[in-house]
Amino acid sequence: MVDHLANTEINSQRIAAVENCFGASGQPLALPGRVLLGEGILTKECRKKPKPRIFFLFNDILVYGSIIINKRKYNSQHIIPLEDVTLETLPDTLQMKNRWMIKTSKKSFVVSAASLTERKEWISHLEECIKHLLTKTGRQPCREHAAPWIPDKATDICMRCTHTKFSTLTRRHHCRKCGFVVCADCSRHRFLMPRLSPKPLRVCNLCYRQLLADEKKEAEAERRQAEPIRSAIQGYEPSSGDDSDKSDDDKAEHWPADTEFYTSEVSWSSFHS
């Protein structure tokens, strides 16, 4: 079905319509071989509260954004490569039903569908596209995922020290490593996690110590791995055939005067016999 739609006029028109809805704030979506397979509105669990978001499923990417006017105008476009996606079904809560998590190396978040059937259809189509794409590219499924942020309203106190209460003056912060809601005192550090961002990100004190320990272990492992190479270099002694400061006249006395190495009578094989 995907191959059949890839170069059709109807597929081009559908993708162009999505681009027009995002306008200048969005990136171009039309690429050779890219097919728009479906779209729908899902509820995304955001930091402050759940919000409706428009989702578009292509054969290689998942695109979502905020709804300004449905079918006419969207913004805050996000593009997720499907080969970086892993799905996890979640149990219902009092506030939200038909939930599942979309996990990637840079960002993970929870969405919910209007019905159980709709959730099954979304997950089925996503998994089929992911499987086909991984088979095509030969890549392995992503194993490392960013932690989802716990919603602000999930807790009234810091999830690390458990005694600081949040208020209008005492702000909530999120650790980028574990996703916990923490106070300022429990998240004073920042750490560079290239997988998530080129800039150092806020992390809680516990994750900071863990990241430092992991960094130290990696450095120690690299040092041990490089040790045999250093030892080999330090123990290296130049052979007698290497260049030295002595002149050619100094070396001549070691060779018989009548030796002719490059005469036509001497074959190359004789030097190795």
Condensed to tens digits (0 to 9), the pLDDT of residues 210-243 reads 999 999 999 988 888 877 766 656 655 554 444 4
Which of 116, 137, 158 is the C-terminal boundary of a domain? Answer: 137
Give the pLDDT confidence of 22-75 residue by residue, as tens digits: 999 999 999 999 999 999 999 999 988 999 999 999 999 999 999 999 999 999
* Residue 251 maps to a domain: no
Q: Against a cut of 0.85, is the pTM above it?
A: no
* Residue 72 domain boundaries: 3-137
The count of structural domains within the chain is 2
State yes or no: pLDDT of 262 exceeds 80. Answer: no
Instruction: Please give the residue that has the higher pLDDT: either 42 or 143.
Output: 42
Give the pLDDT confidence of 173-193 residue by residue, as tens digits: 999 999 999 999 999 999 999
At 270 the pLDDT is 36
**Within 10 Å of residue 56's Cβ, how many Cβ atoms?**
23
At 236 the pLDDT is 55
Residues 53 and 99 reside in one and the same domain: yes
93 within 8 A of 99, measured Cβ to Cβ: yes
Residues 93 and 157 reside in one and the same domain: no
| Percentage of the chain exceeding pLDDT 90 | 67
The residues, ordered by sequence, that sit 6+ positions from 181 with a Cβ below 8 Å of its Cβ are 150, 152, 154, 155, 158, 159, 166, 172, 173, 174
3-state SS class at 133? helix
Q: Max CA-CA distance within the chain?
A: 100
* Residue 244 maps to a domain: no
The model's confidence at residue 94, banded by pLDDT at 50, 70 and 90, is confident
CATH number at residue 67: 2.30.29.30
Instruction: Please give the residue that has the higher pLDDT: either 121 or 263.
Output: 121
* Residue 30 maps to a domain: yes
Structure tokens at 112: 């919910």
Residues 132 and 16 reside in one and the same domain: yes
Rounded to the nearest integer, the mean pLDDT of the chain is 85
Residues 124 and 163 reside in one and the same domain: no
3-state SS class at 240? coil
CATH number at residue 204: 3.30.40.10
Beta-strand relationship, 86-89 and 99-103 = antiparallel
The model's confidence at residue 141, banded by pLDDT at 50, 70 and 90, is confident
| Percentage of the chain exceeding pLDDT 70 | 82
